[in-house]
Amino acid sequence: MRVVAQGTFDILHPGHLHYFREGKAMGEELHVIIARGSNVTHKDQPVLPDRQRRDMVGALEMVDQAHLGHTEDIFVPIERIDPDIILLGHDQHHDESDIEAALAERGIDCSVERASRMEPRYNGELFSTGQIIDRICTERC
């Protein structure tokens, strides 16, 4: 089984590791697609360049291959990877039914699932890039 996870991954944090571990547990191969900064329109642009974010994700043990997203069509790497499962992050803005419809339209046969939310074990743990940035600004700016 081949699993695809995708996202921006601007500042790697424990929530990302949880997402990747969950994806890896679902199959033999975990491919991660890193969104190009030029395609990120639903939130602030990434601080780190595309290739640097890809290299950071690709260095993680549970990731078999890290790919940069396509500049114009987000489904191009999906067609190339040919996954069995696309795993969405628990808080990603994508709608499963919209993705399933687009996959069916292109003849891509894979399921779309949503990752679980990582629950904090200790007070003060941060699991999102936004939370980390907010804490840095509060404590260091």
Supply 13's token pair: 């944090």
CA distances from 128 to 3, 105, 118, 120 (A): 22, 33, 10, 12
Strand, coil or helix: 67: strand
Q: Is 14 annotated as a binding residue?
A: yes
8 close to 53: Cβ distance less than 8 angstroms: yes
Q: Is 50 annotated as a binding residue?
A: no
Q: Is 70 annotated as a binding residue?
A: no
Q: Is 16 annotated as a binding residue?
A: yes
Q: Is 41 annotated as a binding residue?
A: no
Residue numbers belonging to the annotated binding site for ATP: 8-9, 13-16, 91
Q: Which residues fall in the annotated binding site?
A: 8-9, 13-16, 91
